[in-house]
Every structure is written in C-alpha cells, then in structure tokens.
Amino acid sequence: MSLFTITEDKSNKDIPAGMSVLQARRHYLAMSDGFVSKLSKPVVQKHGDRYIFRGDASQSSLKGYGAEQLVAECKEDVLVYCAPRVGMAMDAIATLAKMYDKRCVFFCPASGEPSKHQKALLAYGADLRFIKIAAMPTLNSYAKRWAEQHGAKYLPFGLAKTPLVTAGIVRLGTCIAEQIDEEPTEIWMSVSTGTAIRALQIAWPEALCKGIVVARNMQDGEIGHAKLWSASQPFLKDVPLNKRPPFPSTPNYDAKCWEDFENFASKGSIFINVGTDDKVNKFYDLVKDIPLDSQRAWHDMRDLERGL
C-alpha cells in the first residue's frame, strides 16, 4: 500500500529560473567559493562496485555539511528551528551551533513525553519550547514570528528553501566525487522534503536518482528528475532488522531504502546514509533524567511569549 502521493512533475525548484543544471552547479559552487569548512572530509565507503556516503561515520550528518556555511556566516547569535519528534536536521543544527558559538531555540509540538531526538538536544545546551498544535506548519509560523521579534535566525523546516544549504550539499557532492575519483552513476536515498535529492541532482547532473518517499506527499518542483516510490509503512515505524544496512542508520528513514539499493543499484551507484540514531541515543542517555515539562493545553503560549 502506498502512503504518499508523488508528483509526476520533473522540475527542480532549486535550479534558478533560466539556468541549465550545469549553470546551477556553477552558481551554487560560486556561493561557497572561499568558504573554509571546519568539518572533516565526509566518509565514503566502497561497497562492492558501489559506494555509501556514511553520514553516521562522518563528523556530521548530511544536513550538517549542507548547513555549515549558513550557520558560520549567520550574523544572528540565536538559531530558531521547529523540531519534530524525529529527524536529523535538528541535531545537525545543534552540532554546528556549538561549533560556531551560536545558541539554539527549538520549538517542539507539545506532548506527554518528548522524543529522544528532541530531548537529546539538551545535551548541546539547547532551549526547548513546547506548543500544542494540530500541524507542523502552524508551529513553523509561530517560530518564524518569534525569531523576527527577537532578532534571531529562523531556519525553515528541513532546511528547505535555503540557497546556502543547497550550495553546501552541492559542495559536499563535489567533495565526494573528488574522493572516489568519479561522479556516481545513481543516487539512492530516502526522501522527506526533497532538499538533499534536489541538491545532489545539481551536484551530479548525469546521475540517475532513485529513492523512497518516507514522510509526506511530494509536490511539483520537489523531486526533480528522480524516480521515487512511496513507503508502505508509516513514517515513525522502523524497517525490520533483516532489511537494515550493516552499519548504523536511522531505522525509520535511511534504512527504508537499503533493501532496494542492495537488490537493484547499478555499478557506481551511491547510497546516501544521512545519519544515525546512535548519536542521538548517546546524547539522550546524558540528559534522559533531566525533568522536562513538554505537555501544554490548547492556547498555552507561555513558551512563545517568553523572550531569550
């Protein structure tokens, strides 16, 4: 059973109007010209005649490599992001904030108990705030308004619609191609907002893109020329143990694409392992006993009304 609908539109909204994909690649690489990263080189592992980007073994997840320049050059001292119950973007933001001496405020959907991904952010010294909502877009609008009122930097959900993040992932793709001495023939990955798969299409214009949609419906402009199929399991449900990769991954995200990669990927393909829950669990263990009031009634806006 397919859970999500996927557009048939093959446009890539991160390719600026009037540009070819090669012009877009030059455009984004020019945005990063002169930027010196503090992150170590990404880990890329050979897997038979194919490759694996090991976000789990690298200094940061894929989103961290994408967002580094944005955080490094941000003039604001406080970063604001909406943290869902699961996801690697908030850990990447917290990691970079610590590296570049920034503070983080994470707005989270209120719940009886915060998730491990959310509570682990306390280990970075993050400020977690809770609001009862019906849907994440509402929380994002609250967070954006709060950031504007307090001179903070709002980061959109999934780090989408952020050219410097696209540039960072294009730069990462260039780095990977230099390490393996070729551009991948195919890109295989799980897809949520599509930020990463659109950027990697720009980094490696000749590569075919294949993957599984794990979290939401995909709209026009969000998938580029990728061939995607829908997950049959709800987003929060983990893939069975016998279908997971033989390295640390995220069971409800990256791991859902592994079986298809193993069975069908061509020579020269690359599997994108964005990150791993192992790091989240390690930080969660450091803070799990800290009391945290995450429950809110409707219209309880105390965390939105509170300043820095």
pLDDT band for 2, please (50, 70, 90 cuts).
confident
Residues 61-74 have pLDDT tens digits of 999 999 999 999 99
Residues 259-278 have pLDDT tens digits of 999 999 999 999 999 999 89
Q: How many CA atoms lie within 13 A of 157 on its CB side?
A: 19
Residues 104-128 have pLDDT tens digits of 999 999 999 999 999 999 999 999 9
Q: How many CB atoms lie within 10 A of CB 111?
A: 14
State mean pLDDT over 217-224: 96
Secondary structure letter of residue 159 according to DSSP = G
- Coil, strand or helix at 114: coil
Report the sign of the C-alpha dihedral through residues 174, 175, 176, 178, in that order.
positive
Beta strand 153-154 with 127-131: parallel, antiparallel or unpaired? Answer: unpaired
- Please check whether residue 152 is in contact with residue 80, taking contact to mean a CB–CB distance below 8 angstroms: yes
pLDDT band for 87, please (50, 70, 90 cuts).
confident
pLDDT beyond 80 at 94: yes
CA distance 167 to 185: 21
Dmax (CA) for the chain in angstroms is 56
